[in-house]
Amino acid sequence: VDLDPALEIPKPILEIRVLDMFGSACIDTGASRCIMGKTLYEKVKNKIDFMKRKAHIRLADGSVCTDNILQTKLDVVLKGRTFPTQFIVLPTDHNNRTLLGIDFISNAGIVLDGSTHTWHFADEPLQAYSFELILKGPAADINFIELRVDEGTLLNSMQRKLLTELITEYSTIFRQGGGFTSYAEHCILTKKDQPPISVPPYTMATPKKELLRRELNKLLELGIIEECESPWTAPVVLVPKKNGETRLCVDYRRLNAVTVSDKYPLPRIEELLHAAKKTKYMTTIDLRSGYHQVRVRECDRDKTAFVTPFGVFRYLAMSFGLKNGPTTFQRLMDLFRSGLPGITLFSYLDDLIVISETFEGHLADLKMVFKRLEKFNLRVNREKSVFACNSVQYLGHVITPEGIATNRDKVSAIIEMAEPRNVKHVQSFIQTCSWYRRFIQNFSEVARPLTDLLKKNSTWYWGPDQSSAFKRLKELLTSAPILRQADESKPFILNTDASNYAIGAVLLQGEGSDERPVEYASRLLSSAERKYTVTEREALAVVWAVQRFRGYIECSEILVRTDHQPLRWLMSLKSPTGRLARWALTLQAYDIKIDYTPGKANRVADTLSRPVLSSENENEISICTVSMELGKKSSESLRFEQLADPEVAKIINAFESAPDGENCLNWTNRGYIMSNGILYRYNPDAETEDAQYVVPASDRDRILQEYHDASTAGHYGVEKTIDRITCRYFWPGMRRHIQEYVKKCAICQKYKAQTTKPVGLLQTTPNNQRFEVLSVDLFGPLPRTAKCNRWILIVEDVATRWVELFALQEATAYECSKTLINEIFLRYGFPRKITSDNGVQFVSGLMQQTMHVLNIKQSLTPIFHPSTNVVERKNRDLKPQLAILVGKDHTSWDEKLPSIRFSMNTVTCQSTKHTAAYLTFGRELRTPDDVNHDMRHVLDAENFTCQITPYLNKLASAMKDTRESVEKEQDRHKFYYDQHRIPAPDYKIQDLVLLKTHTLSDAAKGICSKFVPRRDGPYWILRQVSPTSYELGRADGSGESIGKYHVSEITPFIKGQETTPQKPMDPKRKRGRPKKNRVRATAAGPDVLKSPMDQRGSI
């Protein structure tokens, strides 16, 4: 029986590389040797040597023949691995393709899996690769590409054959490799004078290093990367792909931050989908690693360098993750499309779609596209491309003849998302849902509780409204309708509506029951737009919707349906004014007819413009709209609410069941009375004779909101709020209830002034040895002097009060560190501790690293509380002395510093009772007056020995007296200081606190400090730094530290029902080790301390 070759068993094809040429070879388990096909032989016969010999050949049918064969050895590269392989060349009438036999399979360790059409290396069983299939038979070609089962489902056998022949004819565009296109080049323009950025590699596990090595070999073999030496380096990460393979990704964030943006528009998804309306035959084409087909400009290749454990490499092709990569590629694709004017072809980056009405036209369109791809030297990913279908997935949507629908696979990923835990999670969820917002009614209003969390300065809060919106969006995505494909030849229907907060519209086409949506749209109103009149808001909805759907309706007849009757005369106003006149002129460019439709009939647009609320919110809004006066509630309503409360109902039943009974008399003695079926309470101690309405439990929170939170209530304190409520209402325990409510009010805690004394008692510091503890600060900026100095670095010894003043040109961490080392540490010795404020120079990585290397403890004052720094007192003395000495010449202040320093060190300190010079050197310094009238006894060489002992005893006695004097002065200062302070609360870890804001007025920004909250927060207590200072962290769940603050800057936050901050992460895990910053090289010379610094690579 003669079998059709098309029915024979398929064989696997592998993509290989031989002598820098890419091609395909067939695995043949029936061949004992590798056989070189005619095509490969013609390409390599002039490049390598062959050995000719006679051999016996056993053919597939079992027959044996003797003939001359050629033999050679080549390196075959497969998936980045190189295998030396022996090939034989049979007589040309015996074979026409390259076969890889058992010898190659054994040498390479290849394992075939026929059930899944995959193969893998024996040492990598989890790394499977798919292979293409060719049909076995004498007429089969190595470049023959068959259609898949999911392609061309509506084609007959002849059409499938024609399409297959066309794909086979242009099979070269489906091959891997092939170099770069010559029609585009990626440029990386960095900011002017930007030095190279070098980032060290990330730590990588040993198994991943092996995967990285293979990925590097693969990219090297493909000519995408090359080894280099570059001053620019970036780290790499390995990202798993869907097919089980790994992708090498480079972290170019630092490079992208200094790259100049390339402004080039990407196509709008709506326009692409709108134009895809003739959808009988569609083909989607995916370019194979599209970015890797665009070369990087030669002078910019070093900027793409990345560092690995195996060396430094750079990209020859454009890499994923580079800034401006999408714009470069889209510019290429727009140039590609410009040469195909008669074809319905769209491209969004590397995703192309070809649409035709007939099969013959589709075949012709594909041929022109293939020619263009061949001209541009662009390669196509055959596995991800789909040919000649009437339903395709494109850009996350499903395009069919019936219309456009959501991609269920994409939507299912959204449905499986867990509830957000922070703002970033909300942002990711909203961005994902926005991709399908054209399918969702009322998207803006439904998502409003979530989008409000994304506003600047908004506090993280996840409550019932946010949870309801999150679930509602998921429900709408799962039930999203199929949108009709727009037809410009037919009229459009535009339904619009406006509410107080949003405007909505829906574009439809069809008649009667066939009327279906083309697209939904909605947006929130701005604060200014909410002040429009009803007519202006309704007109705005029409104008915005017309402009929003302009691409659909610009040349078509439009019927606008609105539920606001005055809009019917908008187009015929004789003398419109203001914005209505401007909008009327805008609409005149369209063929519009406005028709009035009642709100009930215009349900879709009406829904789009109004919030969808949960049952809890519906109840809350209906209650809050009720006036504070009970008279506006019906008696039946008041009675019903009281009977719904079991405690109140018990009293009412006592009055109604037995009016003369003992139980009723008991309640009457307590002041309760009944009137018209409603329970009241009479307070004989009150100044008025009005009875108090007994409030049921369900209505008490509303009463508290009305008389404390409302704009007419004023957020008054406990007593005033109690007075206002008790004259009208009563419920058991109401005073305690009101106290707790007002105490927990977050707005009051943030805005109200503190009426108590400041918290935080004075903490005295222990005495230290000379130059053991230093206090440093910066003074400036000051007018630039002739030596270009602008800053003063002040250094004071805490024990002796000795002061040093240094003029600096720049207030940088480097200059401060160098000055401290050269002028202080190498002169007076290395201290144990340095205290400073939170200036950037002192908290920088360089300063921290310097102190760490020198084993010096660095202590920072709490933010907004610099008084703990001893040197701050010298700042107060320095300012007037500078002003007195410089006079009118304000640029000569640096020449006066030696004189000021001398005066500070020779004056008696109130706390130590000695001069700083005496405590430092054991003697007073000679003043200019002493030079002329020196009455002091000078130790000469003869009497030095006999005088040194009393001299040292005198110095030791002075130091002892100093310590006693300082302690006495500290006690005196603490006594008076604590008179105006109260002890701080005993804060615990994870306590919630508020932080003082210290906001300044700014007329340019319209900010008045009087209207800004006095406190911000809440924040978590992360740890106690000292008895009077704490480190605070954000209460959004991240636990991110915001700094160290004195107890006078923080107040306890009392959490109410509306506040549910997340618990912070472990602060120990968050802080980690000090950062080791890389520091620029400097020619500091021999004056810089080198031995400890050179060990760590700083300064």
Mean pLDDT, range 800-825, rounded to an integer: 90
Give the three-state DSSP class for 459.
coil
Q: Is residue 738 a contact partner of residue 722, using CB atoms and an 8 Å limit? A: yes
- d(CA 579, CA 996) in angstroms, rounded, equals 44
Q: What is the pLDDT of residue 133?
A: 47
Crossing angle between the packed helical segments 872-886 and 897-905, to the nearest 10 degrees: 130
Q: What is the pLDDT of residue 944?
A: 45
Q: Which is nearest to 351 in space by CA: 321, 384, 318, 375?
A: 384
Give the three-state DSSP class for 125.
coil
Check whether 302 has a pLDDT greater than 90. yes
Instruction: Tell me the two tokens of residue 581.
Output: 């006149």
Question: pLDDT band for position 117 (50/70/90)?
Answer: confident
pLDDT in tens, 342-373: 888 888 788 888 888 888 889 999 999 999 99
Instruction: Tell me the two tokens of residue 181.
Output: 């296109």
Check whether 1070 has a pLDDT greater than 50. no
Check whether 21 has a pLDDT greater than 50. yes
pLDDT in tens, 720-765: 888 888 878 888 888 888 888 888 787 777 777 666 666 655 555 6
Q: What is the pLDDT of residue 887?
A: 77
Provide, rounded to the nearest whole percent, the portion of the chain with pLDDT above 70: 72
Instruction: Tell me the two tokens of residue 978.
Output: 């604590």
Mean pLDDT, range 677-696, rounded to an integer: 72
Select the highest-mean-pLDDT range: 940-949, 1009-1018, 1061-1070.
Answer: 1009-1018
Residue 360: how many CB atoms within 10 A of its CB?
A: 12
Check whether 200 has a pLDDT greater than 80. yes
Question: pLDDT band for position 612 (50/70/90)?
Answer: very low
Question: pLDDT band for position 137 (50/70/90)?
Answer: very low
Q: Which is nearest to 1063 in space by CA: 450, 453, 460, 467?
A: 460
Q: Which is nearest to 80 in space by CA: 278, 215, 281?
A: 215
3-state secondary structure 807-860: EECCCCHHHHHHHHHHHHHHHHCCCCEEEECCCHHHHCHHHHHHHHHCCCEEEE
Residue type, 549: F
Mean pLDDT, range 582-587, rounded to an integer: 76
Stronger pLDDT, 429 or 569, i.e. the higher one:
429
Check whether 900 has a pLDDT greater than 80. yes
Stronger pLDDT, 671 or 105, i.e. the higher one:
105
pLDDT in tens, 36-89: 888 788 878 888 888 888 777 776 656 667 677 888 988 898 887 889 999 988
Check whether 1056 has a pLDDT greater than 90. no
CA angle 388, 393, 394 (to 5 degrees): 100
- d(CA 561, CA 108) in angstroms, rounded, equals 71
For the chain, give the mean pLDDT. Answer: 75
Domains of the chain: 5-144 (2.40.70.10), 185-406 (3.10.10.10), 417-458+485-608 (3.30.420.10), 632-743 (1.10.340.70), 906-980 (no CATH), 992-1065 (2.30.30)
pLDDT in tens, 491-527: 888 888 888 778 888 888 877 666 777 777 778 888 8
Q: What is the pLDDT of residue 1095?
A: 32
CA angle 337, 339, 344 (to 5 degrees): 50
What does the buried/exposed string (b/e) look like for 266-299 if buried means 16 or more CB atoms within 10 Å of the residue's CB?
Answer: eeeeeebbbebbebbbbbbbbbbbbbbbbbbeee
Stronger pLDDT, 969 or 803, i.e. the higher one:
803
Mean pLDDT, range 107-136, rounded to an integer: 75
Least confident of 141-145, 616-620, 636-640, 1028-1032: 616-620
Q: What is the pLDDT of residue 609?
A: 53
Are β-strands 34-35 and 81-89 bridged in parallel, bridged antiparallel, or unpaired?
A: parallel
- d(CA 542, CA 538) in angstroms, rounded, equals 7
pLDDT in tens, 306-345: 999 999 999 999 988 888 888 898 899 889 988 888 888 8
- d(CA 632, CA 622) in angstroms, rounded, equals 14
What does the buried/exposed string (b/e) look like for 1021-1031 if buried means 16 or more CB atoms within 10 Å of the residue's CB?
Answer: bbeeeeebbbb
pLDDT in tens, 369-391: 999 998 888 988 888 888 888 77
Question: pLDDT band for position 227 (50/70/90)?
Answer: very high
Question: pLDDT band for position 892 (50/70/90)?
Answer: confident
Instruction: Tell me the two tokens of residue 70.
Output: 């050629």
Q: Is residue 304 a contact partner of residue 197, using CB atoms and an 8 Å limit? A: no
Q: What is the pLDDT of residue 955?
A: 59
Question: pLDDT band for position 528 (50/70/90)?
Answer: confident
pLDDT in tens, 694-703: 888 888 888 8
DSSP H stretches of helix in 316-446: 325-338, 359-375, 408-415, 423-434, 443-446
| Sheet order of strands, 392-394 included | 392-394, 397-400, 403-406
